[in-house]
Chains A and B, each alone.
Chain A
Amino acid sequence: MNKKLITFLGCAVLLLGLPLFAQQFGNGPVRILDTALLYVLLALGLNIVVGYAGLLDLGYVAFYAVGAYMFALLASPHLLENFPAIAAAFPNGLHMPLWVVIPLGAGLAAMFGVLLGAPTLKLRGDYLAIVTLGFGEIIRVFMNNLEHPVNLTNGPRGIGQIDSISVFGASLSQKTELFGIELPGVTLHYYLFLVLVVVSVLICWRLENSRIGRAWMAIREDEIAAKAMGINTRNLKLLAFGMGATFGGVAGAMFAGFQGFVSPESFSLQESVLIVAMVVLGGMGHLPGVILGALLLAALPEVLRYVAGDIQSLTDGRIDAAILRQMLVALAMIVIMLMRPRGLWPAPEHGKPAPKPQA
């Protein structure tokens, strides 16, 4: 018990101190940490759908987009410029506080999650994967084109001038001094995201051991048997989609506030694939594994960006930072799967797996 406490305190100190150490090297490294935390949030959400309930969702980024656009619309001049009625109703501009945006983003994303889940309840495995992928693409096409006849998303140009996130009236983009330590905006964002991640981990951890979590895993292992034992598979699958989407929506809102700009480019299929890869590479359904996968795929390629300049000059400019990053992600997906098909840190086996039906 004592050992556990020491580990826990050590982790806490490490997580709290990390940005203070990183900010010595400028804002770049802290930004990487921030992005990595957002990816952890996304991976935790997708883990509910893929890892617990066993529903392979390749359109997850759609919920991320829903949350991001929610924040972008409610905290930027975009709606005012395009809808005179809204401009008349809000003469001071639309500046929705975080406490409105987060529940709204989460709720809307959850609604989309259920909307996506409903028609796919009968589908499983690969068919489900391809339908969710299609759903993600449909959302992306709409983001790209909803500027005519009503300009809702501003099309491929995206929405800019989004308010920065402010907590209890303190804007996170401003430099703050606390106990004599100067905290730049990126560090403040880090602490906000860290709080969200910790809350999410707690929720996931409680879910995993709850009746709902057990039921999800039963569905994942054998849907027909789960149904036979009286589990309401329809409602539980919808719940999984909805809960997973909620995390995506919150992460999206945070992303919009952090970047100050959203455009369809940030929500491509590659992004969905990346998040699925994080969950699967880390170890599906196992919280430490999922977090490890997300950190690895989000942070490692970013760190290697710093050597990209040398590689670029070595290869005559053919391999630049973006290509190098993509290549590393791709190689990680292939190599890790080949070496550890169950993920880097898979959940420990509980007893014997059920016998597989003969193909």
Chain B
Amino acid sequence: MEVFVQQLINGLVLGAMYALVALGYTMVYGIINLINFAHGEILMIGALVSWTVIGALAGSGLPGWALMLVALLCAIVVCSVVNFSIEKIAYRPLRNAPRLAPLITAMGMSLLLQTLAMVIWKPNPKPFPLLLPTEPFDLGGPVISVTQVLILGTTAVLLAALMWLVNKTKLGRAMRATAENPKVAALMGVKPDFVISATFVIGATLAAVAGLMWAANYGVAQHSMGFMPGLKAFTAAVLGGIGNLAGAVVGGLLLGLIEAIGAGYLGDLTGGVLGSHYADIFAFVALILVLTLRPSGLLGERVADRA
């Protein structure tokens, strides 16, 4: 039971980070129907920028939480600029091109950002400083660290803010309208280009937060850290039904839980034949199962043709 609750907590924390990244995927996909493969790299850039900023300010005597806040703000700015430029340079000119073309530039962008990060930050893994109290809260057996509490809290706040933005503000209405039908939205006075840029900036903000959290939670930052979380987050978005914001959150949390609980119990269940190294395949097995049984995802609408 104790192990179960512990894995439940770990899974929720992992899922919260997946959810933040998945939201970026799902918003972009909802509006321009593109799998933005470079989105995971935004998380990586967020983490590495935070690492640099924290390193630069380490001697300034600021308390840990203030350091993190400053690092977070810098990461958000850098990630937003990067994501905004990527859309402008690599995706916008291809909006009316054959469907595979933007997909290939997205993959190329992902590869390019990784190599640039390697050049700027060098390939070695960077230990991420512990800035928050390391003494975990004891829940009578299972423990939860301050970082983990903060991740869950921040994710909840960000989700609420995003929901408000999308459902209540003018920009949100424009986003929904563009996702529904860009041409008609343009006729109604919405500027699709502006909306798309805004979507990329919002996605980058969420991914930057996730990047800092990821690095703080696992204590390491590296140029290759973004790819797998990005892939998993996309899987989460598909699981929940792509284009659906609530679906991305549900998919993210679900995926985190499946992975953590699966990794915790796989060894016992199979008598030690399959160990926790197999944790990575849960996401993909779940994905294949869901898509074969319910191709529109868990919360997605039935879409006749996604080709």
Give A residues with C-beta under 8 Å from B. Answer: 54, 56, 119-120, 122-127, 129-131, 133-135, 137-138, 141-142, 144-145, 148-149, 223, 269-270, 273, 276-277, 280-281, 284, 315, 318-319, 323, 326-327, 329-334, 337-338, 341-342, 359
Q: A127-B306, A145-B275 are in contact. List 14 more A-B contacts (CB 8 A).
A: A119-B288, A119-B292, A125-B307, A130-B235, A134-B283, A134-B285, A137-B280, A270-B111, A319-B119, A323-B118, A326-B111, A326-B115, A330-B112, A359-B183
**Residue B114 is within 8 A (CB to CB) of chain A in the complex:** yes
Q: List 26 A-B contacts (CB under 8 A).
A: A120-B291, A120-B292, A122-B292, A124-B307, A125-B307, A127-B295, A137-B281, A138-B281, A145-B277, A223-B307, A273-B111, A276-B107, A280-B104, A315-B119, A323-B115, A326-B111, A326-B114, A326-B115, A330-B109, A330-B112, A334-B90, A334-B112, A337-B101, A337-B102, A341-B97, A359-B183
Query: Does A330 contact B35, Cβ atoms closer than 8 Å?
Result: no
User: Which of A130, A133, A141, A273 has most B Cβ within 10 Å?
Assistant: A130
Give B residues with C-beta under 8 Å from A. Answer: 29, 33, 35, 90, 93-94, 97-105, 107-109, 111-112, 114-116, 118-119, 122, 181-183, 227, 231, 234-235, 238, 272-275, 277-278, 280-281, 283-285, 287-288, 291-292, 295, 305-307
Query: Does B281 contact A334, Cβ atoms closer than 8 Å?
Result: no
A residues within 8 A CB of B274? Answer: 145
B24 to nearest A CB, angstroms? 16
Query: Does B108 contact A138, Cβ atoms closer than 8 Å?
Result: no
A residues within 8 A CB of B234? Answer: 130
B82 to nearest A CB, angstroms? 14
A-B interface contact total, Cβ < 8 Å: 139
Query: Does B94 contact A341, Cβ atoms closer than 8 Å?
Result: yes
Report, nearest first, the 10 A-B pairs whose CB atoms are least far apart.
A333-B108, A134-B284, A341-B97, A330-B112, A330-B111, A341-B101, A125-B307, A124-B307, A334-B108, A327-B115
A residues within 8 A CB of B183? Answer: 359
Query: Does B104 contact A277, Cβ atoms closer than 8 Å?
Result: yes
Query: Does B291 contact A318, Cβ atoms closer than 8 Å?
Result: no
**CA gap between A75 and B245 in the complex, in Å:** 52
A residues within 8 A CB of B280? Answer: 137, 141
**CA gap between A332 and B104 in the complex, in Å:** 10
B residues within 8 A CB of A269? Answer: 227
A residues within 8 A CB of B292? Answer: 119-120, 122-123
**CA gap between A56 and B103 in the complex, in Å:** 11
B residues within 8 A CB of A145? Answer: 274-275, 277-278
Q: Is the interface of A mostly helix, strand, loop or mixed?
A: helix
A residues within 8 A CB of B238? Answer: 127, 130
B286 to nearest A CB, angstroms? 9
B238 to nearest A CB, angstroms? 6
User: Which of B99, B182, B238, B291 has most A Cβ within 10 Å?
Assistant: B291
Partner among B100, B118, B306 whose Cβ is within 8 Å of the Cβ of A280: B100
**CA gap between A145 and B272 in the complex, in Å:** 13
**CA gap between A129 and B307 in the complex, in Å:** 10
B residues within 8 A CB of A123? Answer: 291-292, 295, 306
User: Which of B29, B108, B183 has most A Cβ within 10 Å?
Assistant: B108
Query: Does B104 contact A127, Cβ atoms closer than 8 Å?
Result: no
**CA gap between A323 and B114 in the complex, in Å:** 9
Partner among A129, A149, A329, A338 whose Cβ is within 8 Å of the Cβ of B93: A338
For B284, give the chain A residue with the smallest CB separation: A134
A residues within 8 A CB of B35? Answer: 126, 129-130
